[in-house]
Amino acid sequence: MSALKDIKVLDFCHMAPGMFCTMMLADFGADVLRIERPVKDVLSLYAGHPALEELKKVQEGIHRAFNRNKRSIALDLSATKSLEIVHKLAKSADVIVEGFRPGVAAKLGIDYATMSKINPGIVYCSLSGYGQTGPYSQLPGHDINYIGVGGALDMIGEPGGAPVIPMNFIGDWAGGSLHGVIGILLALNARHETKKGQYVDISYTDGVASLVTLFAFNSLNFGTEYKRGSLGNDPNYTTYKTRDNKYLAIGCVEPWFWINLCKFAGREDFIGFQFDQSEKRDQVFDFFRNFFLQKDRDEWFELMKDKNIPVGKVYSVAEAFSDPQMKHRHMLEEIDLPDGSKEKAVGVAIKLSDTPGGIKSPAPVLGKHTKQVLKDLGYSSKQIEDLLQQGIIG
């Protein structure tokens, strides 16, 4: 049995955070049907771009990474007949997820007001940069904008330097995708009591703000300043370069861990200087910087991992998934492709004992399930062929 067995999801997401949100639902058994633009519409988005081929590769990577375990139907949403199909699908759906700019879904006739009249039990989730309301709701944006407004970006970087831009997992994936999944599951749970669906308004920026809850609390109530470089700028919690030009991460926050590190390095005289900000701090830092240059990263890890010291290798993405811990936890999986080859994929992070998630199928070819979905809705072969000829489906 799957945790989300019998939950039907209509996925209108054209951006990666929405796809990731619905992928997590699909991994746990939800029947996720992607409503995608026909091929001609997709290609037109990049026509004439000087880096057309590179953009296509990026889009293919996003599609294959985030659309496993889903089905696909290609519809031209600007066509009236496509809208009829969508409304029929909505009658038996449990969840709708969309990532349009606020107001676009209403123009297309697929907004919550419309869909909830067709199906009062629908849980409808909108993912957007700033939410459906407020002075910024119509602003375009990306992760860098959301983490800036949400208060995260200003804390990241070297002391006295400009903010350092992280990869887009704070705003997009954590602020948007994960909050979207949580919101949908909460609404589905509430439906057991209320017997009706509801609207889930997810703002990436709101999500970022929630992720900085502790820092915001301390700043707003105690006046605590979080300057760039304040974390990672002490010898007990930072990264150290090793002989092979790689890095080791040390996280000795608790005093007993710091004691263990000092003893391991043969410098028990440093024990009382864990958070010292005097000139001694620079002496401690300089020692450990030179100390860790004496051996390779992996050598240090093997020597330290059984000494009750929080130590970790700083991996590249490719290295991370070859680590024995990752393999043991099944965080690297292989998917069988239709041509007989295999594709590597990140595994399911949430481990459930009785209803675990899993990867059953790769991302579908665009429109792979269009004909079957229409047949299930009662369309005849002649009607389906006519829709194909008119370019309404693909």
Q: How far apart are CA 113 and CA 102, in angstroms?
A: 13
**Closest Cα partner for 296 from 251, 249, 241?**
241
What totals of helices (H) and strands (E) does the chain contain, helices first? 17, 11
Query: CA 326, 322, 356: angle at the middle one, nearest 5?
Result: 30
Residue type, 317: V
Q: So what's the pLDDT on residue 42?
A: 60
**Closest Cα partner for 288 from 315, 272, 267, 310?**
267
What class, spelled out in words, does domain 8-211+335-389 have in CATH?
A: alpha beta
For the beta carbon of residue 284, count every other beta carbon within 10 angstroms: 19
**CATH of range 237-320; options 3.40.1190.20, 3.40.50.2000, 3.30.565.10, 3.30.1540.10:** 3.30.1540.10
Q: How far apart are CA 181 and CA 91, in angstroms?
A: 22
Each residue's pLDDT, cut to its tens digit, for the chain (394 residues) gives: 899 999 999 999 999 999 999 999 999 999 999 999 887 656 566 666 677 778 778 889 999 999 999 999 999 999 999 999 999 999 999 999 999 999 999 999 999 999 999 999 999 999 999 999 999 999 999 999 999 999 999 999 988 899 999 999 999 999 999 999 999 999 999 999 999 999 999 999 999 999 999 999 999 999 999 989 888 788 999 999 999 999 999 999 999 999 999 999 999 999 998 888 788 889 999 999 999 999 999 999 999 999 999 999 999 999 999 999 999 999 999 999 999 999 999 999 999 999 999 999 999 999 999 999 999 999 999 999 999 999 999 8
Task: Show Cβ contacts of residue 106 under 8 Å, excluding neighbours closer than 6 positions.
Answer: 113, 114
How is residue 329 written in tokens?
């936890």
pTM above 0.85, yes or no: yes
DSSP string across 54-70:
HHHHHHHHHHHHH-TTE
Do residues 319 and 244 lie in contact, with contact meaning Cβ atoms separated by under 8 Å? no
Q: So what's the pLDDT on residue 306?
A: 97
Residues noted as catalytic: 172
- Domain locations in the chain as residue ranges: 8-211+335-389, 237-320
Please report which residue ranges of the chain form alpha helices under DSSP H.
16-27, 39-44, 52-66, 80-91, 104-108, 112-118, 143-149, 179-194, 204-211, 213-222, 255-264, 279-291, 297-304, 317-320, 324-328, 370-376, 381-389
Q: So what's the pLDDT on residue 46?
A: 66
Please report which residue ranges of 195-278 form alpha helices under DSSP H.
204-211, 213-222, 255-264
